[in-house]
Amino acid sequence: MSPDQFFQQLETQGIILTATQKQQFDNYYHLLVETNKVVNLTAITTEGDVYLKHFYDSLTLAFALPELQTASLSLLDVGAGAGFPSIPNKIVFPQLEVSIVDSLNKRINFLQELATQLDLQGVAFYHERAEDFGSKRSPHRQSYNVVTARAVASLPVLAELCLPLVQKGGYFVAMKGSKGVEELQQSEHAFHVLGGKLVKSIELTLPETKDKRVIIIVQKTKETPKTYPRKPGTITKAPLLGDELK
């Protein structure tokens, strides 16, 4: 997907970018590729693949949750790596207040440099483990309108990392590949325990490659018990599965 094809695809969604926004994506691409030579940020580096599999793919978040396109919401991206999906959404929908938490400081350094070069306002970056970021003592706990993650962990694990950070009435949005439907079947117990309720699951395919994507939207309906998230390591070793799935 060339940059022009990317812009045209967005226009089919009713999204028309300014010259400044187009330049921001171009600068994003070039800084990503240059930094990736010394810091492992992504295996995807050709221009067409970055525009399709990183930039466009990231924006499917706002296709699935249209409130992100117009409302002044706080969006937290857990384990964003090189800034996906939150930074492309910030570029296109600048009214969003975007925060990113990542456990690797090299990625945070890249994101800070990226925000400076793209002149992004209303962004914050945190070098911390998600388990600690959402703990009962953290000021970030249950404070975001939308918490998302892309390609971080299995859905039951992801739910325990993300739902404690969502404010009541807000949304946890998981961006998954073709295994998303299967993982969703394993996650009902985790959603219930953590105070979430499945709103909908949206299946779509990327242009050109037809790669399958599953976007899972969970609303926070009650407060997460203070015992969650559990300690680092425990969540992946013993995910919140119902008895019938253990």
Burial class from Cβ neighbours inside 10 Å (0-12, 13-18, 19+) for residue 42 reads: middle
84 is in an annotated binding site: yes
For residue 171, give every residue at least 6 positions away whose Cβ sits within 8 Å of its Cβ, in sequence order, or none. Answer: 65, 145, 146, 147, 199, 217, 218, 219, 220
133 is in an annotated binding site: no
| Residue at token pair 């090299």 | 106
Report d(CA 209, CA 234) in Å as an integer.
Answer: 37
- DSSP one-letter code for 164: G
150 is in an annotated binding site: yes
For residues 31 and 55, is the Cβ–Cβ distance under 8 A? no
125 is in an annotated binding site: no
Residues 128-165: b if buried by 16+ CB within 10 A, e if exposed: ebbbbbbbeebebbbbbbbbbbbebbbbbbbbbbbbbb
110 is in an annotated binding site: no
Which residues line the annotated binding site? 79, 84, 130-131, 150
Which residues line the annotated binding site for S-adenosyl-L-methionine? 79, 84, 130-131, 150
